[in-house]
């Protein structure tokens, strides 16, 4: 079992390094989020403050590198590069699912290296929600926390991937109650994250009632794990899993849509992920009430080259975010939630059909002049 889990993780890394598993006909929706430019920002760019707090931890910028890997030989170098970069920049990092190390303790180093290299960074442990109904419980969750001295625990939801994966586990009945048990049974905050198909308003409310402290929306528009599974089975053209991978390639809720649905429904910390590719995407996510933005695939591409390339890429994203804040007149991160934004296109159509209020975003900070 452990060998197969590690082999699968290796497949995922190799496929995700390229662009062949990115969404095809659907986008994040961030292209429909139009920030209102301020010709008179009335702030000094060098005085902009990017630091923020999340679940009791201070960040130098509102960015986390999303959960990607562990449990495979390649993971040590990748997690080392990411950990060293986030430690230096004062950011956070999620680890890949730690199931592999529970099955085989010899793989613990592929995860624990992150804490070794990032003693002060915010680290998120990770386990699949489906594992909770297949026998895992508080004992295993506490073990993954101890493995990396985690600041929080992510329970990931990947029903789409499990439904397509040849090895998939699809008995999801009872996952919610198991999440509630974990949330009430450990001292670390529990984050529930989707893995690329998004969180709806309805699911967000269920998770809030279950006691989770944050939601990572993990929307459509970036890496598609249906596409990943399609490529894993590409040698078996005509195979049902290969067929399903292509059929469900773009399934889910776009990231911007999911973020607005959840932010208007629950009072929880939110992480925006799923196709975050730029500092402008990060700014738009924060304007839509995300606490942090999580970026994965672009950092995976730099992490295989080492710490310097990873740090350089993250620094560029931070400076792009600073520039956007300057151009919308936001002197600190909290100012972004009062920054006007116009929501158009398919994103607006979806949200209006679902009954969400979009006018309030456009009217933020607006003063009536003249009549």
Percent of the chain with pLDDT over 90: 86
Q: pTM for this one?
A: 0.95
Mean pLDDT of 67-80: 92
Residue 206 in tokens: 């269920």
Residue 221 in tokens: 């528009």
| Residue 369, pLDDT score | 40
Mean pLDDT, the chain, rounded, equals 94
> How does pLDDT run across 273-328, given as a tens digit for each residue?
999 999 999 999 999 999 999 999 999 999 999 999 999 999 999 999 999 999 99
| Residue 368, pLDDT score | 44
| pLDDT of 6 above 60 | no
What lies within 8 Å, CB to CB, of 206 at 6+ separation is: 176
| pLDDT of 8 above 70 | no
* Chain centre distance of CA 356: 23
Higher pLDDT, 231 or 291: 291
For residues 294 and 64, what is the distance between their CA atoms, to the nearest angstrom? 5
| Residue 371, pLDDT score | 35
For residues 360 and 85, what is the distance between their CA atoms, to the nearest angstrom? 38
Mean pLDDT of 337-358: 98
Length of the chain: 371
E-strand ranges in 323-371 read 341-343
For residues 259 and 242, what is the distance between their CA atoms, to the nearest angstrom? 30
DSSP 3-68: HHHHHHHHHHHHHHHSSTTB-SS---SGGGEEE---S---S-GGG-B--EEETTEEESSSEEEPP-
Q: Which of 225, 245, 224 is nearest to 234 (CA)?
A: 245
Lowest mean pLDDT among 47-56, 61-70, 360-369: 360-369
For residues 253 and 259, what is the distance between their CA atoms, to the nearest angstrom? 10
For residues 331 and 362, what is the distance between their CA atoms, to the nearest angstrom? 19
| Residue 307, pLDDT score | 96
| Residue 190, pLDDT score | 98
> How does pLDDT run across 166-221, given as a tens digit for each residue?
889 999 999 999 999 999 999 999 999 999 999 999 999 999 999 999 999 999 99
Main-chain dihedrals φ then ψ at residue 224, nearest 5 degrees? -105, 120
* Sign, CA torsion 237/240/244/247: positive
Q: Are strands 57-59 and 341-343 parallel, antiparallel or unpaired?
A: unpaired
| pLDDT of 120 above 70 | yes
- For 2-362, CATH number out of 3.20.20.70, 3.30.420.40, 3.30.70.260, 3.40.190.10 equals 3.20.20.70
Q: How far is CA 119 from CA 85, 265, 321, in A?
A: 12, 35, 26
| pLDDT of 7 above 90 | no
């Amino acid at each position: 079992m452990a060998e197969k889990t590690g082999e699968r993780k290796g497949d995922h890394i190799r496929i995700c390094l390229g662009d062949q598993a990115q969404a095809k006909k659907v986008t994040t929706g961030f292209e429909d989020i139009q920030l209102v430019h301020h010709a008179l920002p009335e702030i000094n760019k060098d005085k902009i403050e990017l630091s923020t707090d999340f679940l009791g931890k201070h960040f130098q910028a509102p960015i986390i590198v999303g959960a990607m890997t562990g449990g495979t030989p390649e993971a040590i170098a990748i997690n080392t590069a990411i950990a060293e970069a986030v430690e230096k920049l004062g950011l956070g990092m999620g680890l890949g699912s730690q199931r592999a190390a529970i099955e085989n303790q010899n793989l613990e180093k592929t995860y624990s290296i992150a804490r070794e290299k990032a003693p002060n960074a915010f680290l998120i442990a990770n386990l699949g929600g489906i594992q909770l109904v297949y026998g895992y419980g508080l004992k295993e969750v506490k073990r993954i926390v101890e493995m990396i001295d985690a600041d929080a625990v992510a329970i990931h939801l990947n029903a789409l991937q499990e439904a397509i994966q040849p090895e998939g586990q699809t008995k999801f009945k009872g996952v919610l109650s198991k999440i509630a048990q974990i949330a009430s049974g450990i001292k670390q905050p529990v984050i529930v994250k989707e893995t690329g198909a998004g969180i709806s308003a309805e699911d967000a409310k269920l998770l809030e009632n279950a006691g989770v402290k944050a939601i990572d929306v993990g929307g459509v528009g970036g890496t598609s794990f249906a596409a990943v599974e399609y490529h894993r089975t590409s040698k078996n053209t005509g195979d049902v899993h290969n067929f399903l991978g292509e059929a469900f390639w773009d399934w889910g809720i776009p990231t911007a849509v999911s973020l607005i649905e959840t932010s208007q429904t629950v009072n929880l910390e939110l992480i925006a992920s799923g196709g975050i590719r730029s500092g402008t995407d990060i700014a738009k996510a924060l304007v839509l009430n995300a606490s942090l933005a999580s970026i994965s695939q672009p950092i995976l591409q730099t992490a295989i080259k080492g710490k310097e390339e990873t740090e350089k890429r993250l620094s560029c994203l931070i400076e792009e975010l600073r520039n956007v804040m300057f151009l919308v007149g936001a002197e600190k991160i909290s100012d972004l939630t009062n920054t006007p934004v116009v929501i158009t296109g398919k994103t607006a159509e979806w949200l209006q059909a679902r009954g969400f209020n979009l006018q309030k975003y456009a009217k933020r900070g607006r003063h009536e002049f003249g009549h």
